[in-house]
Structure 1
Amino acid sequence: MSEDEPPENISGGPGGGGLAEEFDEREAETRAEAVVDRLGELYWQKTYGGQDAFECLVRTILSQNTSDKASQPAHDALLSRYGGADTDLAVALAGSDQPTLAETIQSAGLYNQKSKTMTTIAERVIEEYGGADGFDEFVTGEDPATVRETLLDFSGVGPKTADCVLLFSGGRAGVFPVDTHVHRIYRRLGIAPADADHEAVRAVLEEQVPAEKCGFGHTASIQFGRDYCTARKPACLDDPDACPMADYCEQVGVYPETGEVVDPADATAE
């Protein structure tokens, strides 16, 4: 595990609310499933679902374009100032002073943009759902496709953020959020097409990985991307045996002979 990352992913853990899944012993039916199973041997397992939907959305927005190490203090500071057992976080953020909110979440980076996004979303949540509780009922109770479509209509919410809310708040099996690590890894492995965008990678993974393994596959893939399959210097570059996925990987865009690493979409055609 990378030394500059926290010992547990803030999106999972015992506070996740249930839906812990054990990997069964059957033989993997796809290479993508085999990769996720091996990740299960490398990293901790998580629980999914049960997180308050609005807080989960805020937390995921804070994590955009930064690491857990940077976003966690911002999340803690935000809850310390605006949260509380009897406080509706959506109401608190909608009525907040934007410069003060921006200062509170400064450690997460892009704090002016993120604070504006959160207040705008908070106002919409109050208008359409009456507050955080109503929004949570919508996310956990409505059809997942409807929830995803609605979340994507929120300002500042993209596919990865929407899918994280579905997974970590809604506890929806079969959701495999695709961030920059997942996008890179599964194209480099050769599991998804080299030129696939984030949505195309998601479609491949959700088709080839059993629903109960998608949530863990997401968090474990991120850790694998941090520890081994980094963007500029993957472990296989100097030593092919250093990567635990070496026997599954097609090394698309990685050229150990020259030390060159490019985006899989720019890889030399064979």
Structure 2
Amino acid sequence: MPDDPEPAENISGGAAGGGTAAEFAPGEAATRAEAVVDRLGELYWRKTYGGQDAFECLVRTILSQNTSDVASQPAHDALVDRYGGERTDLAESLAGADRSALAETISPAGLHNQKSARIIDIAELVLEEWGSAAAFDEYVREGDPDDVRERLLAMNGVGPKTADCVLLFAGGRPGVFPVDTHVHRIYRRLGVAPADADHEAVRAVLEREVPAEKCGFGHTATIQFGREYCEARTPACLDGLDECPLSDVCDRVGVDPDTGRVVDPAEAAPDEE
């Protein structure tokens, strides 16, 4: 295994975001979903995650909502430079932040007024309920994962993908497979999940059929695959099936390489499924 083949642009942050390269015993995959994840692991990387600061991970993931890592990373870096510091409790610092100043700081991430309000609200909540970012981090790492997920989902602006990213990258919880737009599209297009499945239904399939220790890198490697090969409008298979490394395990639901027609899997005609 390379030391860290994961790019820094990924939501987990590559080497800087924590996680360690991992090996898994070879063998026959028990499910089609596991076979896909194994193939992605061979194509990209296999890592176990955990170790990010939970509150900062939460803030980073909120910044990434409805935008790309290219846009959210500078916003995150500017936020940490302005409000963080080695001896600074980031939650305390952000809870006392001026909203307009914070919005200006994170403006590269887009929706900066909405996101700044959410971040301040969540920082205040973390201080009120846990007392500090460090105590919140301990709760995410050691609390019952179902309870942690429920508490995260109750926060303003925190959806399932954001909550699951915190559980995975900060808590290091096995068996968590966050579903973003790439994951949602790809596993329905592959035929691993039902064509009309929503994000939570796709997550249920993957967390049931992918071994717990493989869910983390399955998530990040799927994102990379979506960026490089299986884009929403121009999947690589349109240029020929040999252009995609997963073409032999893909049902291409909603994609017709012969005509170039590409639709969301849920919109595919029955004879395309």
Q: What TM-score do the two structures reach when normalised by structure 1? A: 0.95
**Other-structure match for 1:220:** 221
- 2:7/2:13 contact within 8 Å kept: no
* Cα distance in 2, alignment partners of residues 12 and 72 from structure 1: 9
| Match runs of 1:206-217 below 5 Å | 206-217=207-218
- 1:12/1:168 contact within 8 Å kept: no
**Other-structure match for 1:21:** 22
Is the aligned partner of 1:191 residue 2:192?
yes
**Other-structure match for 1:83:** 84
- 1:176/1:215 contact within 8 Å kept: yes
**Other-structure match for 2:168:** 167
Shift in Å, 1:47: 4.0
Is the aligned partner of 1:267 residue 2:264?
no
Shift in Å, 1:133: 0.9
* RMSD of Structure 2 on Structure 1 (CA): 1.5
| Match runs of 1:31-180 below 5 Å | 31-180=32-181
Shift in Å, 1:251: 0.4
Shift in Å, 1:257: 2.1
Gaps of 5+ in 1: none
* Cα distance in 2, alignment partners of residues 133 and 239 from structure 1: 51
Secondary structure at the residue paired with 1:149? helix
* Cα distance in 1, alignment partners of residues 230 and 211 from structure 2: 23
> In the TM superposition, what whole-angstrom CA distance separates every residue of 1:115-138 from its partner, at most 9, and x where no partner exists?
110000000000000020111111
Identity of aligned residues (%): 74
* Cα distance in 2, alignment partners of residues 211 and 269 from structure 1: 33
- 1:21/1:213 contact within 8 Å kept: no
Shift in Å, 1:16: 4.4
Secondary structure at the residue paired with 1:230? coil
* Cα distance in 1, alignment partners of residues 187 and 179 from structure 2: 10
Q: In structure 2, what residue type is equivalent to 1:132?
A: A
* Cα distance in 1, alignment partners of residues 64 and 242 from structure 2: 32
**Other-structure match for 2:3:** none
Shift in Å, 1:241: 1.0
> In the TM superposition, what whole-angstrom CA distance separates every residue of 1:200-250 from its partner, at most 9, and x where no partner exists?
000000011110000000000000001000000100012111000001000
Q: In structure 2, what residue type is equivalent to 1:111?
A: H
Secondary structure at the residue paired with 1:175? coil
- 1:254/1:261 contact within 8 Å kept: yes
Q: In structure 2, what residue type is equivalent to 1:162?
A: A
Q: In structure 1, what residue type is equivalent to 2:27?
A: R
Q: In structure 1, what residue type is equivalent to 2:149?
A: R
Q: 1:186 to 1:24 in 2, by over 3 A?
A: same
Secondary structure at the residue paired with 2:146? helix
Q: In structure 2, what residue type is equivalent to 1:230?
A: E
Secondary structure at the residue paired with 1:157? coil
Secondary structure at the residue paired with 1:244? coil
Gaps of 5+ in 2: 1-5
Q: In structure 1, what residue type is equivalent to 2:145?
A: P
- 2:57/2:166 contact within 8 Å kept: yes
Shift in Å, 1:10: 4.4
Q: In structure 1, what residue type is equivalent to 2:133?
A: A
Q: In structure 1, what residue type is equivalent to 2:225?
A: F
